[in-house]
């Protein structure tokens, strides 16, 4: 975490040429397969960014899907392993649950559409440092039965 903050503070003092060189160096250092001419990690991140903008942009002119809660999780964790959609629950609002089985002992993210406009916000996760809701955790432990 400290390294990321150091990199951010370094970037703010660089010229555009300096920023370009810094980012080129960063991606070369983080290349998952340096024997190929492509930087696979960077290409994957660009694909995730484009996916988030295509599917979750609130304002399509701004391509802001990456800045939504779902976009943030997608960019930081990658594509989910499994998804459950609850589009017409008996009680409450539509919500979706993303499962990441390969992170720790299994991580979930619950996104709720509180206003019915398809703008899902993160309301619960069992990942440390993310939003936690006792009520949503109880629903999760019950298999979301109470919501259906």
Percent of the chain residues topping a pLDDT of 90:
54
Mean pLDDT for the chain overall: 88
Residues 83-90: what's their mean pLDDT? Answer: 87
Please provide residue 142's backbone torsions phi and psi, each rounded to the nearest 5 degrees: -85, 5
Please provide residue 100's backbone torsions phi and psi, each rounded to the nearest 5 degrees: -120, 95
Q: What is the pLDDT of residues 32-80, one digit of tens each?
A: 888 888 888 889 999 999 999 999 988 767 789 999 999 999 999 999 9
pLDDT at residue 23 in the model: 83
pLDDT at residue 78 in the model: 94
pLDDT at residue 17 in the model: 93
pLDDT at residue 146 in the model: 57
pLDDT at residue 1 in the model: 44
CA separation, residue 23 to residues 28, 29, 64, 103 (Å): 9, 10, 22, 27
Triad 69, 75, 80: Cα angle to 5°: 85
Cα separation, 49 vs 65, in Å, equals 8
């Amino acid at each position: 975490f400290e390294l990321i903050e150091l990199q951010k503070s370094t970037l703010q003092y660089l010229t555009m040429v300096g920023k370009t060189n810094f980012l080129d160096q960063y991606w070369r250092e983080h290349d998952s397969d340096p024997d190929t001419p492509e930087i696979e990690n960077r290409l994957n991140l660009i694909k995730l960014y484009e996916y988030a903008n295509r599917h979750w942009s609130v304002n399509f002119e701004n391509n802001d899907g990456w800045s939504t809660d779902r976009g943030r999780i997608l960019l930081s964790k990658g594509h989910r392993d499994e998804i459950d959609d609850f589009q017409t629950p008996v009680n409450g609002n539509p919500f979706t649950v993303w499962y990441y089985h390969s992170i720790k002992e299994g991580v979930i993210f619950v996104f709720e559409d509180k206003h019915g406009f398809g703008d899902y916000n993160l309301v619960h996760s069992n990942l440390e440092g993310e939003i936690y809701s006792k009520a949503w955790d109880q629903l999760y432990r019950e298999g979301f039965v109470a919501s259906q």
